[in-house]
Amino acid sequence: MDIPAQLNRFQPITLEQMSSIRLMNRVDTKYVVTLPKLCSILADAQGEYYVQEINGDRLPGYSTAYLDTQDYQMYNMHERGHSVREKIRVRTYEASGLNFLEVKNKNNRGRTDKKRVAVPNRREIASADATRLLLKHAWFQLANLHYCLENHFSRITLVNRGLTERLTIDLDLRFRNLDTGQSVDLPKIAIIEVKRDGRVPSPIMNILRKHRQVPCGFSKYCIGMAMTDQSLHCNRIKPRLRMIDKMCG
Q: Exposed/middle/buried for 15, CB within 10 Å: 0-12, 13-18, 19+?
A: middle
- Residue 191 has a CB neighbour count (10 Å cut-off) of 22
Query: Residues 185-213: pLDDT tens digits?
Result: 999 999 999 987 666 778 899 999 999 99
> For all residues of the chain together, what is the average pLDDT?
91
End-to-end CA distance of the chain: 17
pLDDT of 236 over the 80 cut = yes
pLDDT at 199: 67
pTM for the full model? Answer: 0.91
pLDDT of 23 over the 60 cut = no
Ordered by start, the domain boundaries in the chain are 3-248
pLDDT of 20 over the 80 cut = no
pLDDT of 7 over the 60 cut = yes
Q: Exposed/middle/buried for 147, CB within 10 Å: 0-12, 13-18, 19+?
A: middle
Spatial neighbors of 85 by CB under 8 A, at least 6 apart, are 74, 77, 78, 105, 106
pLDDT at 28: 79
Query: Residues 37-51: pLDDT tens digits?
Result: 999 999 999 989 999
Three-state DSSP state, 153:
strand
Query: Residues 99-151: pLDDT tens digits?
Result: 999 999 988 877 788 899 999 998 899 888 999 999 999 999 999 999 999 99
pLDDT at 174: 98
Minimum mean pLDDT among 22-31, 39-48, 82-91, 197-206: which range?
A: 22-31
pLDDT at 1: 61
CATH number of 3-248: 2.40.320.10
How large is the average pLDDT for residues 214-219?
A: 90
How large is the average pLDDT for residues 218-247?
A: 94
